[in-house]
Chain A
Amino acid sequence: AQSVTQLGSHVSVSEGALVLLRCNYSSSVPPYLFWYVQYPNQGLQLLLKYTTGATLVKGINGFEAEFKKSETSFHLTKPSAHMSDAAEYFCAVSGAGGTSYGKLTFGQGTILTVHP
């Protein structure tokens, strides 16, 4: 079984400030981890993913995330927020095998607000 917990349903930052969106997961098999962004009434766009290899993953638009197995975390960061980063962000996990194979389990989402 898999689950994802995103800490904080709403995060507010000033433009130019650090963005930190928290994600913790549980998985009975080696996890593949994802961060997606969603703008209103649109589908999801992949920001970055971790499957194997380097635990620090760089994505689009200046975002990055670090897989920490000991902490079962995959937090998303961006050094300097831009107004265009305002959106809803979803963390997701998929199992590398077993009955979870291929299926994404999502967190509840975090709405990021960026104010001038």
Chain B
Amino acid sequence: DGGITQSPKYLFRKEGQNVTLSCEQNLNHDAMYWYRQDPGQGLRLIYYSQIVNDFQKGDIAEGYSVSREKKESFPLTVTSAQKNPTAFYLCASSSVDWSYTFGSGTRLTVV
């Protein structure tokens, strides 16, 4: 079955450390997205990519970086510049018929 795989499910980061969250899809979707979820704030867009080798900042891109070298993959790096990284991170992809598919998420905690 097609879908989005996010890994790891839980991730712990030490102060000053960079960590990378994985997102892989086998839906052949062109567009991919990263959202951050905090309690009571809904989901906020970090980065998105509508085509390979191209991506744009979302509403809260500071302290994050992405790459889109393959259609199937859209990894997110949380850098040490992100001062409050503890959150639930969701990856999504979309097709031309406005069907969005979400991964099961990665919960990142600073220790």
Which A residues lie at the B interface, using CB under 8 A? 4, 9, 32, 34, 36, 41-46, 49, 51, 90, 92, 94, 102-109
**Which of A4, A36, A43, A104 has a CB less than 8 Å from the CB of B33?**
A104
- What's the nearest-Cβ distance from chain A to residue B89, in Å? 11
B38-62 vs A, Cβ < 8 Å mask (1 yes, 0 no):
0011111100101000000010000
- Measured CB to CB, the nearest residue on chain A to B50 is A102
Q: Which of B41, B42, B104 has the most CB of A within 10 A?
A: B42
Which B residues lie at the A interface, using CB under 8 A? 4, 6, 31, 33, 35, 40-45, 48, 50, 58, 88, 90, 92, 94, 98-100, 102-105, 107
**Contact between chains at A94 and B58 (CB < 8 Å):** no
Question: Which residues of A sit under 8 angstroms from B33, Cβ to Cβ?
Answer: 103-104
Question: Which residues of A sit under 8 angstroms from B35, Cβ to Cβ?
Answer: 106
- What's the nearest-Cβ distance from chain B to residue A42, in Å? 6
- What's the nearest-Cβ distance from chain B to residue A98, in Å? 14
Count how many pairs of residues, one from A and one from B, have CB atoms less than 8 Å apart in the complex: 54
- What's the nearest-Cβ distance from chain A to residue B93, in Å? 11
**Which of B43, B45, B50, B104 has a CB less than 8 Å from the CB of A90?**
B43
**Contact between chains at B94 and A108 (CB < 8 Å):** no
Q: Name 15 extra pairs, CB < 8 A, besides A36-B102, A43-B102, A90-B42.
A: A4-B42, A34-B100, A42-B105, A43-B103, A43-B105, A46-B100, A49-B98, A102-B50, A102-B94, A103-B45, A104-B43, A106-B35, A106-B43, A108-B42, A109-B42
CB pairs A–B below 8 angstroms (15 shown):
A4-B42, A41-B88, A41-B105, A43-B90, A43-B105, A45-B102, A102-B31, A102-B50, A103-B45, A103-B58, A104-B33, A106-B42, A106-B43, A108-B42, A109-B40
- Measured CB to CB, the nearest residue on chain B to A44 is B102
Question: Which residues of B sit under 8 angstroms from A108, Cβ to Cβ?
Answer: 40-42
**Contact between chains at A32 and B98 (CB < 8 Å):** yes
